[in-house]
Structure 1
Amino acid sequence: MVAFGKKLKQAQVQEWQGYYINYKLLKKRVKRYSQAQQSGTQDPQPQSVVLKDFSRLLDSQIEKIVLFILEQQGELAAKLASLGDHQHHCLTQQQQQQLSSSSNWLDVSELKESYRAVGEELLRLLCFVEMNAIGLRKILKKFDKRFGSSFTDYYVKTRSNHPYSQLQSVFKQVGIGAVVGTISRNLTDLQDHEESYTSIYDQPALSHPDPVIDSIKAAVSRLSNSTSFLEFLGKHAFIVQDQDDLGAAPSDVNGDLFVEERYHFMSLLLNLVNTFLYMVNTYIIVPTADGYSLTLGAAATVCGVIIGSMAIAQIFSSVYFSAWSNRSYFRPLLFSSIVLLVGNTLYALAYDLNSLSVLLLGRLFCGLGSARAVNRRYISDCVPLKFRMQASAGFVSASALGMACGPAMACLFQTNFKFCNLLTFNEATLPGWVMAFLWLLYLSWLWFSFREPPPYTKLLVVPKINAVSTMIGPLVNDAIEHGSTKPLLLASEANYEDEEGDHEEVEDDGEEDSEGSRSVEPVTSIASAYQLLTPSVKVQLFIYFMLKYAMEILLAESSLVTGYYFIWSTRNVAIFLACLGLTVIPVNVVVGKYINNIFEERQVLLASEIMVCIGILLSFNILVPYSASQYVGSALITFVFAEVLEGVNLSLLSRVMSSRLSKGTFNGGLLSTEAGTIARVIADGTITLSGYLGEQMLLNITLVPSLCICVSAIVATCFTYNSLY
């Protein structure tokens, strides 16, 4: 993969070359610092001197960039003011002299083209800002990695919070929104002039959307990290979203056309149904697991082991399914369905066999059938870019609906009869029998309808040269390597990752960066993946561990707690859990459309952690009699903000994680899944161990570790807060 410095040079607007960040100079300076520190023959500079020197160098680079941005904004503003005067003159002349419709049409057409031309200049400026913002983030990460300091934390904290911050001008695009609004408003006025003469303030969307405006909005959205509901929901899937350059149609990229050859709608639907059924399978037993364990002669708190045994097996199944999906999608899905069919059958038969061992074996089989890694990889590798966001949101929605439908189905199983005096069908066994039947149906559907996508071939992705890309500068695309088709995009910082072994091209002076002689390749082991985890990534994974632990404690012990304190029936517990699951979609609508576009993601992250902590604190049974309203209210706070936290956390994780973890077996999705699964295993084990102290102590004992982990996550977030800039 071509180095970022090489890409920066190739993507530059020629007449603006002197105003871009001098990434080559900054990289050489960082390299010189690290060599002086590591060499025994040279006297390394004191750390304070290095920090001061590099800070001044960065300050001068940022000042150069910001002053140029302001200069260009002034020129754009002057052009828009002139066009506004001309537009007002034309309208006034029409009203006074009653010009012919053909003459009016000509003036309007010329004005539209003039506004579009200004829009294209703004698009070029947005690309300039984006390239420099990426360069700043990368050089800060490189300094931290090479010099072994927390320079990013210091630099961002001292610069971004200052009242005269120039760093904010690069990352917040101050003033650009006003230019976008002026262009949009005037194009809308000109378009609707002969009709109702509406304004963008009365009718926000153009009746015939202008492609230039769409491209500008897409560029601003990338720079500001603003999201729509679908985008925010899709972040929960932790599927890397490629974006075509500056809003151009994704299907224009040859690499994506190749992906379309692998795409099959029915196969995608089968993956989403697999996700849905697996989540139903996970939570359908939660309301009845304690009663089932009592029936088999074990303590009610053994339900923690019953629920957690599925997660234990999932720790291993996630790895081999992730590796298997490198070669096939159909075979792992087929194997998953068969294993889940067997596992649910064993779970149901355990009642008549009066064997807790058979029950646990059945749940272990169910965990071994977890094909979520395959579902995620299919969306990432086989769904075209133009549908990938919707598919990612569908993946998360299927999971959320499965979480809600599982307990809801359990409350319907209020029956008790024997079939041929051999098999018992009651509220304990019906979850197993029903899921076995559903997996049998799914297996038949999979066998006849799934289409295995053709294998990747090594293609050269040739970019489409359009008016915008020609103006911005040449785009470079690499040959597709190691079974991955990914065009190089200016919009994605991950594609410029040059840490830990991507290929550094020879610079103009002939110097080659010795550290980067290898191409970006996926890691091949957990140990290699761990070496790529920076402190920020480790904190993000720890936060994911925390939220999954808190959610599992809440859900898995719900039947025990409500039965002990409020004498709730299985139906009541099932309805309660189903209602919690149904909050996922509405909450993500609010956060994705509003909250995430008002506040920074790191602000939402920290606030959500604090709210989860408050929810846990409110759950404790201390002094006053424990009431159902206290339990339901605290559970709702914990669950809702844990869901908010999941989307924001994974979004930030995708930005701070090395690009070598974006593909292959040991990818970022697998690491986050493993962190969450381990959290569930430990949480379920905590419930069972706490049960030995008695059900009256269960609630408070299980909440103590949740509270400690949550507080630790908040402290860790505060320490790495500025590195999430």
Structure 2
Amino acid sequence: MRTDQNTLILNIVSGSLHIGNLVILSVSASEYLPQLGLKESASGMLYSINWAGALFSLFLFSWWSNFGYAYPSYTSAILAMLGNFLNSLAFQHGYELAYIGRFLFGLGTPRVLNRRYIGDHTQSSERTKWATYYVAGCLLFSSISSYALGWMNFEAENFGLIVNKHTSPGYIMAAVWLIYIFAMALMFKEPADKSSSSSPIKSDQSSLLFAGYGLWAAFLSKLMMDYLVLSAPLVLVHTWNWENKSVGTFFGFAYLAVFFIQLYLANYSRGSQETRLLVLGIGVAGIGGSMISSLWYSSLIQYLVGAIVLLSGTNFTDGVTTSFLSKCLPPSYSTGILNAGFLVTLCGTLGRIAAGLIIAYIDQGNYDLLNLLMFPMMVCCVATMFLFRNNSRDLEGKID
């Protein structure tokens, strides 16, 4: 099997660009929403609407990718472009357009395409490495986006559009997606083969049970990661009197630090068993969660370090689960809608939606409660580690 490097890179860039775009929309929402007549807490609802749209796209793109990757990839980019444009246009025409824009942006989520391409069109021995590179790319773009947001404050009025610090992020990102579409037209090549030469484990009840373990890990990692990303701005601003710009700078640094950690782990993962890597990632996430929980933290430094540790663990877990599932699911699943990329993205999306709904439900003044809820998530990490450890021999024997 020969993988086209340009197409693989475009595939990674689309997912990275989309998640970086989401960071821009999420961080800027706290100042943008009051301009639309909405409360800050509406950011959690907008976030969930975004991932509700992503949930619809999962089924559409998972089915569509059975026939090819080019057209669904173009559709994804066009929807992301329109979503950004409408989100900014809401400044002039009402908050309803912001809801529609965020839904369309979510509908354009390319993650199932990205993960399936990596799962089906890279060699089995290289799959964990490329999946980890994919997550590293998302982290790099998230870091760049956090810093770039501070520069997206243009003031202008062209073609009847008001461009200011509230609307320029959406308009700029719409232009970036247009550039990406042109890049696709020049470089994207449809893969000739249907799937890679992988060797999934045999189809039996235990195989599906082990796949369930991996899906739970995908859900838990996204729940913890997005809960932190959504709660941290509220906690840092109202507990330690940070400004939104400082929050963005911190996350830019955090994502950049975790990016380099991911690059190291991508090389470390070569020849390593996915089961052990999952235990490592979940364990690190649990340590970060325990540092953040208000049962223990007593200083700003501990909170910030805990956030970086948690992001490191959850992102590493995210990178390993696609490779784990692609080897764990029966071969018949790889050619249908319920492929590894779809299932991992589905569980991750449900985790993101759950995080947004929890933030939206909690009263905005309960900042101690925001951190306290990290404790049960940390307990889930410990339980999940024991689950994998107790079944490690069976898992490793089947995957090998």
Normalising by structure 2, what TM-score? 0.85
Is 2:162 aligned against 1:424?
A: yes
Structure having greater relative contact order (Cα 8 Å, sep ≥ 6)? 2
Say which structure is richer in helix. 2
Check conservation: 2:286, 2:379, Cα contact below 8 A. no
Instruction: Give aligned pairs, total.
Output: 396
Deviation at 1:680, TM superposition (A): 0.4
Which residue of the partner structure matches residue 699 of structure 1?
A: 370
1:562–1:667: structure 2 CA closer, same or farther, 3 Å change rule? Answer: same
For 2:361, give the aligned amino acid. Answer: L
SS of the residue corresponding to residue 338 of structure 2 reads coil
Deviation at 1:572, TM superposition (A): 1.3
Among candidates 182, 185, 196, match of residue 444 of structure 1: 182
Which residue of the partner structure matches residue 109 of structure 2?
A: 370
The unaligned stretches of length 5 or more in structure 1 are: 1-255, 457-483, 501-530
Deviation at 1:612, TM superposition (A): 2.2
For residues 369-388 of structure 1, what are the structure 2 equivalents within 5 Å? 369-379=108-118
Among candidates 546, 555, 559, match of residue 233 of structure 2: 559
1:618–1:385: structure 2 CA closer, same or farther, 3 Å change rule? Answer: closer
Check conservation: 2:53, 2:106, Cα contact below 8 A. yes
Deviation at 1:358, TM superposition (A): 1.6
Deviation at 1:390, TM superposition (A): 7.4
Q: Deviations over 1:485-533 (max 9, x none)?
A: 655xxxx652xx4425xxxxxxxxxxxxxxxxxxxxxxxxxxxxxx886
Deviation at 1:561, TM superposition (A): 1.5
Deviation at 1:307, TM superposition (A): 2.2
For 1:317, give the aligned amino acid. Answer: S
Q: Deviations over 1:5-37 (max 9, x none)?
A: xxxxxxxxxxxxxxxxxxxxxxxxxxxxxxxxx
Mapped to 2, the partners of 1:424 and 1:694 lie a distance apart of: 33
Among candidates 44, 52, 56, match of residue 312 of structure 1: 52
1:601–1:668: structure 2 CA closer, same or farther, 3 Å change rule? Answer: closer
The unaligned stretches of length 5 or more in structure 2 are: none
Mapped to 2, the partners of 1:711 and 1:384 lie a distance apart of: 32
1:650–1:340: structure 2 CA closer, same or farther, 3 Å change rule? Answer: closer
Mapped to 1, the partners of 2:128 and 2:367 lie a distance apart of: 46
Which residue of the partner structure matches residue 155 of structure 1?
A: none
Deviation at 1:554, TM superposition (A): 0.9
Which residue of the partner structure matches residue 48 of structure 1?
A: none
Worse overlay, 431-440 or 701-710: 701-710
Q: Deviations over 1:332-376 (max 9, x none)?
A: 122122211211111111122241x22121111011111233334
1:288–1:713: structure 2 CA closer, same or farther, 3 Å change rule? Answer: same
For 1:614, give the aligned amino acid. Answer: I
Mapped to 2, the partners of 1:628 and 1:681 lie a distance apart of: 28
Check conservation: 1:341, 1:435, Cα contact below 8 A. yes
Is 2:398 aligned against 1:660?
A: no
Mapped to 2, the partners of 1:382 and 1:668 lie a distance apart of: 13
Which residue of the partner structure matches residue 221 of structure 2?
A: 547
Deviation at 1:438, TM superposition (A): 0.8
For residues 161-176 of structure 1, what are the structure 2 equivalents within 5 Å? none
Among candidates 366, 373, 388, match of residue 717 of structure 1: 388
Is 2:26 aligned against 1:282?
A: no
Mapped to 2, the partners of 1:288 and 1:581 lie a distance apart of: 17
Check conservation: 1:301, 1:560, Cα contact below 8 A. no
Is 2:263 aligned against 1:576?
A: no
Which residue of the partner structure matches residue 398 of structure 1?
A: 137
For 1:426, give the aligned amino acid. Answer: N
SS of the residue corresponding to residue 163 of structure 2 reads strand
Mapped to 2, the partners of 1:350 and 1:427 lie a distance apart of: 14
Q: Pairwise CA RMSD of aligned residues?
A: 3.2
Percent sequence identity over aligned pairs: 26
Normalising by structure 1, what TM-score? 0.50
Mapped to 1, the partners of 2:84 and 2:26 lie a distance apart of: 14
Q: In terms of Rg, which structure is larger? A: 1
Which residue of the partner structure matches residue 343 of structure 1?
A: 83
Which residue of the partner structure matches residue 630 of structure 1?
A: 302
Deviation at 1:452, TM superposition (A): 4.2
Which residue of the partner structure matches residue 209 of structure 2?
A: 535
